[in-house]
Structure 1
C-alpha cells in the first residue's frame, strides 16, 4: 500500500463484472473486512437490492457477533435502493464523509447505476474466472490462435469511463482510475487453457491499461463462511483450519497488497500470520 496524501480523501473501490458467478461479492466482502482489520473505516454499498449478497453477508456477520458475544473488525454496509444517478452520487457523497474506503459491490449485470458507480471508482476491480467464457466479457479472441480480435462491450464501457474520469483527474478532483482484473478460481484451470488466457489478458491489458493479479482459488471454505458472515481473517473463530484454508488466507493477503490501495492504518493491526 502507498501512503495517502496529507489531504485525506475517501478512496472508492468498485467491484464490477456484468457476469455472475465470478466471486465478485465474496472478493468485495473479504477485501472490505481486510481493510477493517488494518484499522481503516470502511463502508460497503450494495447496488443489488434484490440479491444484496454483500449486505446479507454483513447481516450474518453482525448476527454471529451478537450470538457469540464477539467484537470483530467489520465494515458498515447499506443497500442502495434509489433509481437515479443523482441519487447514487448523493449517497456516495454522504457515506464517504465517515469512511476511509467506500467499497461498492455492483450487480452482476448491465445496469445504469452500475455504470454510474464505475465512473466513480478510484480502484476498479473486475473478478473473473479463468475461462474464455468470462474473458469474453472483456475481449473476443480468434478461435484458432486465441489472439484478441476486439474489445467487448464491458471493456469499451470502462474505456469510456476512464476517459470521463481523466477530466476530473486533470482538474484535481479525483485520482486516475486504476483498473485491476482479478483472476479467481485458477486452481481448477487446465494448464494449457491457463496459458492461453494469460496470453490474451496480457495482450488486452496493453490495449486498455488494466493490471492483472491472482485472486481467490475455488475453495469450499468461502461458501461455508457465508452463513456465519465470518472471513478467513477471523482467526480463532473458525475452528481447526486445514492447509487449503491457510493457503486461501495467504491468497487474500496477497490480493489486498496487490490492489496497491492508500495506506490508512489507525493502530497496530496487520494481515500477517501470527
Structure 2
C-alpha cells in the first residue's frame, strides 16, 4: 500500500499547492514513485504544475524525476455529488497505489466532501499555516491576548472526526503536522505569540510542528516550467544565489521533519 500524504487547510492562500509541488518533486528526486491527486477542481494548481513539468521535459529533452497525476474518474471540473465524493476518491487512490510509493493529495482551501474524504485517508496530514492569528483561528479559538487557547476550532474538529473514522476502520493513526509557513525573517511580537500558541495547541490536540517555507519568490517563479529549485542544476544553472541556497535548506528541513517511511534526504 502506498503511503498517503494529504496537504490540507480550509483557508486559501496558506501555501498548500506550493508545499505539495515541492514535496512531490523532492520525493521523486529521492528515487520514490509518487502519484498526485488535485482536489481543487477549479484552480488545479498542482495538476497544472505536473502538466507544466511534463511539457517542459518534452520540450527540452530532459530526464527529470517527476510525480504522475491521477484524477477522479468521470469528474471534469465539476465537484461530484456529496455522496459520491468518498467512493470516487477511493477509486482514484486505488488506481495510483499499485505503481507508487506515495500518493499525495492536495486539498482545496474550503470545507468540501472531497476534502473530508481525503483527510480520512491520510497517513500523513500536512497543514500549512500562515504566521497569522487569522489563519490560527481555523485551528483554535484564543483569548484577546493571543496567549490562551480557549478550544479547538472548525478545522481541528474536522481532523478529529477524520481520526475517529480512521480508528473505527482499523487504520493507522494519522500523523498530523502543522507547518508555520511564510514566516517573516524579523523577530516580532506577533511571531513570538504565534510560536507559543502553536506549540501550546500542538500539545493539546496532538500534532507535530515543522518548519515551512519563508516568503521567497523562488518557490513560485518556477511554476510555469513545472520546476523546483532542486531542478536548477539539471537545467544549466551552476551558481545558486544565497536565497536559493536558503530555500533548498528549508525544503531539506521540511522533508526531514515529515519523517516519511523509507525517505532519506540526500539533496
Q: Provide the TM-score with structure 1 as the length reference.
A: 0.89
Q: Give the corresponding residue for 1:86.
A: 87
Aligned mates of 1:141, 1:188 — CA distance in 2: 25
Cα 1:108/1:188, change in 2 over 3 Å = farther
Q: 1:232 aligned to 2:229?
A: yes
What does residue range 1-274 of structure 1 map to in structure 2 within 5 Å? 9-80=1-72, 81=75, 83=80, 84=84, 85-169=86-170, 174-188=171-185, 190-236=187-233, 237=235, 239=237, 240-263=239-262, 271-272=266-267
Q: What is the CA-CA distance between 1:190 and the residue it aligns to?
A: 4.7
Residues 120 and 163, structure 2, Cα contact 8 Å, conserved in 1:
yes
Residues 56 and 226, structure 2, Cα contact 8 Å, conserved in 1:
yes
Q: Provide the TM-score with structure 2 as the length reference.
A: 0.91
Across the aligned residues of Structure 1 and Structure 2, the Cα RMSD in angstroms comes to 1.6
Q: What is the CA-CA distance between 1:184 and the residue it aligns to?
A: 1.0
Q: What is the CA-CA distance between 1:188 and the residue it aligns to?
A: 4.9
Aligned mates of 1:31, 1:264 — CA distance in 2: 12
Deviation above 4 Å: which 4+ runs of structure 1?
Answer: none
Cα 1:99/1:193, change in 2 over 3 Å = same
Residues 70 and 96, structure 2, Cα contact 8 Å, conserved in 1:
no
Aligned mates of 2:225, 2:185 — CA distance in 1: 26
Cα 1:189/1:125, change in 2 over 3 Å = farther
Greater relative contact order, per chain length (Cα 8 Å cut-off, separation 6+)? 1
Aligned mates of 2:34, 2:18 — CA distance in 1: 16
- Identify unmatched segments of 5+ residues in structure 1: 1-8
Structure 2 residue matching 1:194: 3-state secondary structure: helix
Residues 48 and 79, structure 1, Cα contact 8 Å, conserved in 2:
no
Structure 2 residue matching 1:181: 3-state secondary structure: strand
- Identify unmatched segments of 5+ residues in structure 2: none
Q: What is the CA-CA distance between 1:258 and the residue it aligns to?
A: 0.4
Structure 2 residue matching 1:20: 3-state secondary structure: coil
Structure 1 residue matching 2:232: 3-state secondary structure: coil
Aligned mates of 2:133, 2:236 — CA distance in 1: 35
Q: Which stretch shows the higher mean deviation, 187-196 or 202-211?
A: 187-196
Cα 1:271/1:234, change in 2 over 3 Å = farther
Aligned mates of 1:230, 1:94 — CA distance in 2: 26
